[in-house]
Amino acid sequence: MTSNSNNTITSTNFSFPNQKSVYKGKVREVYNINDNLLVMIATDRLSAFDVVMPKGIPYKGQILNQIATKFMLQTEDLVPNWLIATPDPNVAVGHLCKPFKVEMVIRGYLSGHAAREYKAGKRMLCGVEMPNGMKENDKFPQPIITPATKAEMGSHDEDISKDDILKRQIINEKDYAVLEDYTRKLFQRGTEIAAERGLILVDTKYEFGKTKDGKIVLIDEIHTPDSSRYFYANGYQERQDRGEAQKQLSKEFVRQWLMANGFHGLPGQKVPEMSDAYIETVSERYIELYEKIMGESFVRADVSNIHKRIEGNILDFLKQRG
């Protein structure tokens, strides 16, 4: 595998018929077509500690897009979503939505950010009480919802409580009740699907938006290794009992590598150099994540000229839509 500029997509500069605007997030680029459709391209950018890494990871965008769109199809009986079509392995097309400015984070276990806060002595996270006597990676009695304000690129998401969301009128009470209900339903379904694959869905985040006719729908990604943490179910309890680290499926391995190389996402810190060999191992790890989460083999798309492929498939789709 080579890491030349043609076999990864780290930015786009397309111009589609009736294009109104482009929004560039940490990983995805979203094209507004005629204030009606959104064309979302999952790039190969890798973000950790809310910082975008300098080099792309081959196939990462395809992996994220295909996991997210398949999970949307597997949950649309529970929660409506924005998705219309997937004209390219890296592309999802959906209804124009106005996103809620809050990410709905749900945690079934004391891991990651919650565990770090707990270790620091805090027992309240986003206005939700965490029980005493827990150790890292223990299961919560019930999953807890710990929302975060949605950050622009280059800034950090911030914890926020339900009370603050309502007080600051970021979301009204009626809509927030729907978001909470949808979040719990999606997490339950995700937990069931993960269990079938021998995995535990530890925590995840969902994003929602409103369509032009006022319907609340799931947008962006769902149950991907970028938005979720998974543990291997086999041996979970034994590892907990022995006080060992859990075997996990997420991009945590990238964060660990960065921290081991002195990078914690703090101002002024320089991202360590990622060699082509290391990038190849990250790509292989993402493919492994895909196969474990989806329970099927990953089929690599043609990346000989990924920009041309994506642009052509989007143009064909828009032409067919008229």
The number of distinct structural domains making up the chain is: 2
Whole-angstrom distance, CA of residue 70 vs CA of residue 28 = 17
Residues 178 and 93 in one domain: no
Is residue 87 pLDDT above 90, yes or no? yes
pLDDT for the residue 152: 58
Asked, for residue 255, whether it belongs to a domain, the answer is: no
Residues 227 and 110 in one domain: yes
Work out the percent of the chain whose per-residue pLDDT is above 70: 96
Whole-angstrom distance, CA of residue 229 vs CA of residue 199 = 10
Domain that holds residue 28: 19-97+275-321
Residues 186 and 237 in one domain: yes
pLDDT for the residue 226: 85
pLDDT for the residue 215: 97
Whole-angstrom distance, CA of residue 220 vs CA of residue 109 = 23
The residues near 255 (Cβ < 8 Å, ≥ 6 apart) are 48, 49
pLDDT for the residue 207: 96
Q: Confirm if 107 and 134 have CB atoms less than 8 A apart.
A: no
Asked, for residue 259, whether it belongs to a domain, the answer is: no
Average pLDDT across the chain, whole number: 93
Distances (CA, A) of 252 to 238, 242, 297: 21, 21, 22
The CATH number given to whatever domain includes residue 24 is: 3.30.200.20
Q: Is the pTM of this model over 0.95?
A: no
Residues 242 and 194 in one domain: yes
pLDDT for the residue 155: 53
Phi, psi of 230 (to 5 degrees): -120, 145
Whole-angstrom distance, CA of residue 255 vs CA of residue 5 = 24
Closest among 254, 252, 249 to 294, alpha carbons compared: 249
Residues 64 and 125 in one domain: no
Asked, for residue 307, whether it belongs to a domain, the answer is: yes
Domain boundary among 214, 249, 284: 249
Residues 136 and 240 in one domain: yes
pLDDT for the residue 151: 63
The CATH number given to whatever domain includes residue 132 is: 3.30.470.20
Residues 292 and 177 in one domain: no
Asked, for residue 8, whether it belongs to a domain, the answer is: no
pLDDT for the residue 12: 96
Given pLDDT bands bounded at 50, 70 and 90, which one contains residue 1? Answer: very low
Domain boundary among 233, 249, 265: 249
Residues paired with residue 216 on neighbouring β-strands, in sequence order: 210
Asked, for residue 91, whether it belongs to a domain, the answer is: yes
pLDDT tens-digit series, residues 176-214: 999 999 999 999 999 999 999 999 999 999 999 999 999
Asked, for residue 166, whether it belongs to a domain, the answer is: yes
pLDDT tens-digit series, residues 213-257: 999 999 999 999 889 999 999 999 999 999 999 988 878 888 889
Residues 114 and 237 in one domain: yes
Mean pLDDT of the 289-301 span = 95
Asked, for residue 13, whether it belongs to a domain, the answer is: no
Asked, for residue 235, whether it belongs to a domain, the answer is: yes
Residues 31 and 113 in one domain: no
Domain boundary among 231, 249, 267: 249
Phi, psi of 219 (to 5 degrees): -130, 180
Residues 152 and 242 in one domain: yes
pLDDT tens-digit series, residues 137-182: 999 999 999 999 976 554 567 999 999 999 999 999 999 999 999 9
Residues 141 and 89 in one domain: no
Is residue 2 pLDDT above 60, yes or no? no
Q: Which of 92-96, 126-130, 213-217, 254-258 has the lowest mean pLDDT?
A: 254-258
HSE (side-chain half, CA atoms, 13 Å) at 115 = 13
Residues 113 and 216 in one domain: yes
